[in-house]
Structure 1
C-alpha cells in the first residue's frame, strides 16, 4: 500500500473520530501519531519531536501570560467598565463583543471568552434579558479577535511556524493584522448591526432560578424520634437511599451547617434542607423515616444565596407524592448565618475530565469537595437522577462547596464558573508589571531580537519569578489537551506532505481550478478549510491544510504567503457548529442553544468574513 494511501486512511479515521466526539481530541491525535509511526510514515526517532516544536512552546507561553493578565486585574478593569454600558441591546452587544475581540488579540481566545462570559451573564440578569442574545456574538467575537495577531489563536502560530520551515522566516507579531483587523472589524460591524437579530432567542435563561427551578424542589425534612436516620451520617443516608440526594444544609439548635462539610450524626429535631422531587421524597420517608416540614417556629431558611436558590415554595406530601402549597400565613423563617454555604453555576468545558463520566465515577464530594445540586442541558434542567447523568461539554451545573475551595475544584474538573464575577482592580503593581513584561516580549519579537517562542517563554518565566502568577496556577493555565493535540498532529501533518498526499490533493484541486481566477481558487481553499474547522479542532485544521496550501502555491507557481494566510483566517472561522471551537461549546449550555442554532448567525458571518478576507489577502499579500 502506497504511503499516501496509508496517510489518507489514517487521516480519514482520525477525522471520523474527531467528528464522532466519543474520545477526546487529544487522545485521537495521539492515536493518529502512533498509527503513523507504526506504519513507518513518521520515523520512530522523530515521533515526539512535535512536542518541542516552537508552535507548541509558543501556545503554552501565551496561555501562561493570559492567566497572568487575569490575575493582575487587567481584565477586571475592562470588565468593570463594560457593566456600565446601559440598557440598549445593540450597545451591549457592541461593548461585550468588542471587548472580547480586543482581549483575544493578546491572549488565548478561549481565555478571553471565559473572562467575559460571567460579565455577559450578569448583564443579562440585571436587565432581565435572555443571555442567548449576548453569548453567541460574544463567542464569535473571541474567534474574530484571534485573527489579528500572531499570538491571538493557535492556527496563526502554526502557520507562522510552517512558513519558517518552508522559507526560513515566519510571520511577525503583527503580520496578520492588516487582514485580521479588517476581517474582525467587518465581522464586528455585521454582528452589531444585523447579526444579533439572527441569534435564537431562548426565553427563561437569564435567571438561575428559572434555569434550575430549584425553589420547586427545595424541601425541609425533620428527623423524628422514631426516624431510621437518627444516628446516621449523611454518608449513611446516601448509602441507604442508593441515590445522590443533595443535602444543602443541616439545621441544629438554630445553627446551620453546610451539608457538604457536615460530618456529625443526625439527631432527633435536626432539620435537613434537601433538594428533592417526588420520587426522592418517597425514598426519604420509606428508607430513612424523615418527615416533611420544619418546626412551627420556622427555624430553617433559604441557602443564603438568593440568586441561586430560594426557600421552598412547593413541597411534596410525604407518602403520597402529591404537591401541596405551604401555608403562606406562617411566620417568615428567620435568617441564619450561611456558614460558608455557597452555590455556584459552572459550565463544563470541552477538555473537562467530567465528560462522559458520572458523579460516582468522579467522586465529586470526596475528592473535590463539591456537591452536585442540579444539571441543566440545552436550556432546561435535567429531570433524571443525578447519579445517572453522564456529563457533556456545555452542561451547566449547580454546585455547592466551600467558598475557598470552589475555584480550585472547578479548575481541576475543567469547569468555568458562571456566577456573578466579583470584579476587583487587582494590584496596580502587578498590573503594570505584567503589561511591561509582555510589552518587552513584543518589542523583542518586532525587532527580531528573539524568536516568538523564546521571547514569549522568557516573558512567562519572568512573570513567574516576579510573582505575577504562582507556579501552580501557571501549570493549571497550560491547556494539556491542546498541547498534546499540537505535539501529536505536527508530525502527522508533515507525513501528509512527505508521503505525497498533500500534492495529490493539490493536484486534484489544480485540475478543477486551473482556469479559475486566483481569487476564486483562494475562495475554494478558504471554504474547504473553514468547513473542516467546523468539525475538528481549528489547530488540527491548520496543520492538515498548510501542506495542501503549500502544494497549491507550488502548482500555481506563485507566492506561498496568500495561501497560508487563507488557511490562517479560515481555520479560525468555525461559526457553523458548537463543536468547531471551544468558545462555541462554552456558550451552548448557558445560552440554551441547540446544535442547529449556530449556522443561523454563523453562515452569513462566514460569508461576510470570506468576502472581506479574500480581497484583503490579495491586496496585502499579492501572489
Structure 2
C-alpha cells in the first residue's frame, strides 16, 4: 500500500466520519474533498472538477425541476386525494394503494418529495380510520425507497452507476432495465408490510392518546399548553404603540407578549390583518396576543402601553379560525435552519407566521421560544394566515407541514396546468425510451416545456434543484478517480476476490450488496454508488464476467436503505409522525433488506447474464 493510497483512504475515512456525525454539511464535506485532492497533488484541477462536466449531474438537476412541477401543478396532491377516496376506511386497501402510488410517483420524481406530500394524507386517513399512523408511515417510507428501483431516472444512484458504465465505454442501461426487479420487490414489500404492520404501534403518550390523529384547535391548544395565554387588547388613542413598528417595540423581550394578529376597521367592519415585524400599529387596533405572563405583568403591560382588555370568545382565538390558522410543522432533514434559533432565522419576518409552541421528544416546551435552537425532530406550532401556512412548505424548502387542524378543511385547490405537467412527463419518458435522444436532452426539453406551459417559473425552477445533492455527487466523484489512480480499487477488488471470488459470481454479488448496505448506514446512497460503481466493474473484469449484473446490484443495494431512520431522508421524515423508535427501523428494515438482497441476487443474473 503506497503513501498516496494511504492518504486517499484516510481522507475517505474522515469524510465518512463527518457524514455520519452530521456536524458538517455533506455538500461542504464534498467541496473540502475536492480542495484536499488538488492541494495534495493527488488529482489535477480538471480531474477534481470533472464531476461538473458529467451530463448526469445536469440530468439529476432537471429531474428535480420536473418533480417540483408535478408538485406545483397539484398532480401529486390530486393523487393523494384520489387515494383517500378509493381506500375509504379500509387500512389494507389504503396500504396497498399507498405503496403502489408512492412507488409510481417516485419513479419519476424525488422520493423525498413524494413522501413529504403523502405524510399529511396518511395522518388524515389515520384520523378517519381511528388507527395509528405508525401502521402506514413505514410502508410509506419503504415505498419511497423502492421507487428508486422502478426506473433509471428514479434516483441519483441509478444514474451514477449508469454514468460509470458509459465512462468505461460500455452501453448504459435502458429506461426500464431495473423495472422488473423493482416490481417484484414492490409486491414483496406490500406483502411484507401487510403482515408486519401489526408490529408497528408507535410510541404511546403518557395520557394514552396518541400523537397521530388530525387534531382540532382544541387538541392543539391542550397539547401545547396554550390555555389561558390568549388576549385581545385594544390600542387606545395616545398609546405609545401608535405609529411604531412591532419589531421596534420588542414586546416579547419586555413583556413576554407575542402578537400573532390584529383586528382593524376596514369599510365599516373589523378584519383580521396578518402581522409582521414591520407592521405599524394604529389607534383602535385590537391586538391578538399570545402571552404567558402573570396577571400582574399583564396589568403593567396594559398600563404602560395604554391598552384596553377586550372580551375573547372561544379558547385561544378559535372563534377566528376562518382567518387565523394553526398548524404543526417540522424541519426536513436537509434544512439549513437546524441549529439556529427563531430569532436568528427571523421567523416572523421571513415567513409571516408566529411560533407559539414547540414540542421536543413528545413534550411541550415552555418559556421564550425565540432563543431556543431548533433540532431535527422538533415540531413547531405556528399561528397565522391560512394561506401563509399552506405556502410555508414551498418557501425555502425547509419545512414539512405535518398536521393541519380540522378547522382548515380538506379541500385542495385545482391547478389548470396539471394536464400540461403530465404531458411534459410523458413526453420525457417517451423520448428517453427511443434511445435516439440523450436522457439529459429529453429532461431539459421537458423542463423548457413546463416553463412554456407555466407549470413552473424560472425562480421556482432554480429553487427546486436540491443543490446540496448536486454538490455531493460532484464532490464524491473524485474519490472514485483517486482510488483508481492510487490502486485502491484493485486493493478492494483483491479483498473481495479472496472473500467470495472462489465461490462464483453469485457470491460476489452478495458481497457487493452487503458492502453497499453497510456503507449506506453511514453515508448517503448517492455517495455509496459513486464509491462502489467502479469497484463493481473492476470486480467483474477481474472475474472475466459481464459488468452489467455487478453494476445493477450496486444500484439496487444503494436504494435498499431500510435499516435505520438515518439511512435515508425518507426514513427520517416519517420518524416523528409515525412515533417510531430507532429499533423499529432495525426490526422491520433488516429482514426486508435480506429479502431484497435474495431477490436481487436471483433476478439480476436472469435479466443480465454473467
Secondary structure of the corresponding residue to residue 469 of structure 2:
helix
Q: Contact 1:105–1:151 at 8 Å: present in 2 too?
A: yes
* Post-superposition CA distance 1:379-400 (Å, at most 9, x none): 4434464133222334322223
1:288 aligns with 2:301: yes
Matched with 1:231 is: 241
Q: Contact 1:223–1:268 at 8 Å: present in 2 too?
A: no
Q: Deviation at 1:122?
A: 1.4
Instruction: Decide which of 570, 579, 583 is 2:566's aligned counterpart.
Output: 579
Q: Contact 1:378–1:593 at 8 Å: present in 2 too?
A: no
Secondary structure of the corresponding residue to residue 247 of structure 1:
strand
Q: Contact 1:218–1:273 at 8 Å: present in 2 too?
A: no
**Partners in 2 of 1:400 and 1:336 — Cα distance?**
11
Secondary structure of the corresponding residue to residue 168 of structure 2:
helix
> So what's the TM-score if we normalise by structure 1?
0.86
Matched with 1:426 is: 415
**Partners in 1 of 2:606 and 2:520 — Cα distance?**
25
Alignment of 1:376-415 (within 5 A): 376-383=359-366, 385-413=368-396, 414-415=398-399
* Post-superposition CA distance 1:525-550 (Å, at most 9, x none): 11121122222111011111112212
Q: Contact 1:574–1:580 at 8 Å: present in 2 too?
A: yes
Q: Deviation at 1:222?
A: 6.1
Q: In the comparison of the two structures, how many residue pairs are matched?
A: 586
Matched with 1:612 is: 599
* 5+ residue gaps, structure 1: 305-309, 311-334
Distance 1:550 1:448, change over 3 A: same
Distance 1:376 1:516, change over 3 A: farther
Comparing 209-218 with 579-588, greater Cα deviation is found at 209-218
Q: Deviation at 1:354?
A: 0.8
* Post-superposition CA distance 1:67-125 (Å, at most 9, x none): 22223333233212211212232222222222111111122211211222221121122
**Partners in 2 of 1:446 and 1:411 — Cα distance?**
32
Matched with 1:534 is: 521
**Partners in 1 of 2:555 and 2:478 — Cα distance?**
19
Alignment of 1:89-100 (within 5 A): 89-100=91-102
Secondary structure of the corresponding residue to residue 356 of structure 1:
coil
Q: Contact 2:232–2:312 at 8 Å: present in 1 too?
A: no
Secondary structure of the corresponding residue to residue 342 of structure 1:
strand
1:260 aligns with 2:280: no
CA-atom RMSD in angstroms: 3.2
Secondary structure of the corresponding residue to residue 83 of structure 1:
helix
1:219 aligns with 2:229: yes
Instruction: Decide which of 183, 196, 205 is 2:212's aligned counterpart.
Output: 205
1:273 aligns with 2:289: yes
Distance 1:261 1:269, change over 3 A: closer
**Partners in 2 of 1:154 and 1:267 — Cα distance?**
57
Secondary structure of the corresponding residue to residue 400 of structure 2:
strand
Q: Contact 1:371–1:400 at 8 Å: present in 2 too?
A: yes
Matched with 2:17 is: 16
**Partners in 2 of 1:229 and 1:194 — Cα distance?**
63
Secondary structure of the corresponding residue to residue 171 of structure 1:
coil
Distance 1:196 1:52, change over 3 A: farther
Instruction: Decide which of 128, 133, 145 is 2:135's aligned counterpart.
Output: 133
**Partners in 2 of 1:538 and 1:512 — Cα distance?**
24
Matched with 1:7 is: 8
Q: Contact 2:329–2:402 at 8 Å: present in 1 too?
A: yes
Distance 1:134 1:383, change over 3 A: farther
Matched with 1:79 is: 80
* Post-superposition CA distance 1:484-538 (Å, at most 9, x none): 1112112222222222112111111211223224322211211121122222111
**Partners in 2 of 1:619 and 1:124 — Cα distance?**
41
Distance 1:65 1:275, change over 3 A: farther
Q: Contact 2:133–2:577 at 8 Å: present in 1 too?
A: yes
**Partners in 1 of 2:171 and 2:605 — Cα distance?**
20
Matched with 1:247 is: 259
Distance 1:537 1:423, change over 3 A: same
**Partners in 2 of 1:563 and 1:61 — Cα distance?**
27
* 5+ residue gaps, structure 2: 205-209, 405-409
Secondary structure of the corresponding residue to residue 431 of structure 2:
helix
Alignment of 1:509-548 (within 5 A): 509-548=496-535
